[in-house]
Amino acid sequence: MMRKTSVILLSAATGAALTLFVTQPRAVFMGSSARAATADTYRQLNLFGDVFERVRSDYVEKPDDTKLIESAISGMLTGLDPHSSYMDAKSFRDMQVQTRGEFGGLGIEVTMEDGLIKVVSPIDDTPASRAGIMANDIITNLDDEAVQGLTLNQAVEKMRGPVNTKIRLKIIRKGQDNPLDITLVRDNIRVRSVRARVEQDDIAYIRITTFNEQTTEGLKREVANLSNQIGDKLKGYIIDLRNNPGGLLEEAVTVSDSFLERGEIVSTRGRNAEETQRRSAHAGDLTKGKPVIVLVNGGSASASEIVAGALQDHKRATIVGTRSFGKGSVQTIIPLGSGNGALRLTTARYYTPSGKSIQAKGIVPDIEVLQDVPDELKARTDTKGEASLRGHLKNDGDEKTGSQSYVPPDAKDDKALKLGADLLHGIKNSASAAPTPGDNKAAADKPKAAN
């Protein structure tokens, strides 16, 4: 079997971690059944060639050959499962930017409003914040080109670019009579995948929004900052993975490892038994054994579920919230050569330390907490989950669909967050309670089930 340079990802959307396989080609000897199968495959390829030529010659308008081939490849992959797909060159570049978590740009979070670009907020210590760009500023022009008529993605792409290059923005600001012309020099921008704050004076709250190449370092930085801020009165950590769609497999492993002293974190099992891989924790708990609460909901998928599953199986954390999305598969990004994009191909299922597949089932929280949802939002706050996706990989047993994914915008209304804080303060609101530091060692020493 010829192996190839490939990229491993684990996400409900996109993500990647580089893995290199180099092996020598080997001679293949086929029996009669294999020869028959090969002959049938060639007949099907001939059929594809016949259809392709007929479309090229007889379609009502002259088709674009490249688009025809890309559409055929895309159809072949999307017919496999919901997460296999073809990425053209631009989509492949965008995916790489997203998973790196850094790019040449201005440092502005933006949205589209009435055909113009509205600033949501500037990111601290970036060209945008240093130039005084403010939330609610309206960007009307990028250099000499009007924003009107561009999509949000097109505008964002124009604002990104090589570090140390300039771009001129025309901005309308409420209270200013005339538009502002601001010239910015692009810098290296790091996406903040980890945000944190002190909760109730003695709890470290850490929100992880995605698993990109910056996530583990961001987690380490915030744990150190919060530990210093809170000091000896620190009761424990709340790790918020709600509505986190996933990302890099490697980052899910290292984030899990940050809370564990030993034991398996996750195993990935492909089509062939020899492809099974097991990832284990290394000594050194970043939180020094402090209790941990993990918040999940219907929007917590893939890499998020690896972290929640590992900490739950090792009894290192209490999982609070609603059942997670249920994406238990691993995708490999396979580049197709310069300018040809890449394949995103499902190559394995992953299993939690206890040998459990969460595919189409999700992580069931130790304590379920349903939020109070405003009436006008009730129809839009449930995530159907992996089991509802057409063509999803099947799992043995009862598959699960539908789980609440609403997170109140105001922390005082967040019932899951409040319960997590109560548990860390020793207020027993359920038969399940926050783990003690000793639970981690006891769970790590237990034998693990294997499938």
pLDDT in tens, 169-195: 999 998 888 999 999 999 998 888 999
Q: The domain at 194-331+347-444 falls in which architecture?
A: Alpha-Beta Complex (3.90)
φ, ψ of residue 276 in degrees (nearest 5)? -65, 135
Exposed, middle or buried: residue 409 (CB in 10 Å: 0-12, 13-18, 19+)? exposed
User: Region 245-261: what's the mean pLDDT?
Assistant: 96
Fold of the 102-190 domain: Pdz3 Domain (2.30.42)
φ, ψ for residue 389, nearest 5 deg: -75, 130
Query: pLDDT confidence of 360, banded at 50, 70, 90?
Result: very high
- Res. 25: pLDDT tops 70: no
- The secondary element (H helix, E strand) that includes residue 404 is strand 403-404
Round to whole Å and give the CA distance between 313 and 195. Answer: 26
- Comparison of pLDDT for 122 and 343, the residue scoring more: 343
Look at the block and give the residue holding tokens 């990028």. 142
CA quadruple 165, 216, 20, 83: dihedral positive or negative? negative
Region at 15 (left for phi over 0; alpha for psi -120 to 50; beta for the rest): left
User: What's the mean pLDDT when you consider all of the chain?
Assistant: 86
- Does 22 score more than 80 pLDDT? no
| Structure confidence at residue 58 (pLDDT) | 96
Indicate whether 5 pLDDT > 60. Answer: no
Q: Choosing from 302, 304, 324, 329, which is the catalytic residue?
A: 302
Using the predicted structure, report yes or no on whether residue 386 has a pLDDT greater than 80: yes
Say how far apart CA 358 and CA 397 lie, in whole Å: 11
Confidence bin at 429 (pLDDT 50/70/90): low
Domain ranges of the chain: 102-190, 194-331+347-444
pLDDT for the residue 70: 92
- Looking at the predicted structure, is the pLDDT value of residue 110 above 50? yes
Catalytic: 257? no
Among residues 313, 315, 324, 405, which one is catalytic?
A: 313
The reply to whether 327 belongs to the active site is yes
pTM assigned to the model: 0.80
Mean pLDDT of the 81-94 span: 90
- Out of 327, 329, 400, 414, the active site residue is 327
348 with 341: CB under 8 angstroms?
no
pLDDT at 35: 73
Residue 16's pLDDT is: 32
Q: For residue 410, indicate whether it is catalytic.
A: no
**Residue-level pLDDT at 12:** 58
Token pair listed for 432: 């399940």
* DSSP assignments along 293-338, one per residue: EEEE-TT--THHHHHHHHHHHTTSEEEEES------EEEEEEE-ST
The model's pLDDT over 296-335, given as tens digits with 9 standing for 90+, comes to: 999 999 999 999 999 999 999 999 999 999 999 999 999 9
The whole-angstrom separation of Cα 370 and Cα 437 is 28
pLDDT attached to residue 29: 55
Mean pLDDT of 280-299: 97
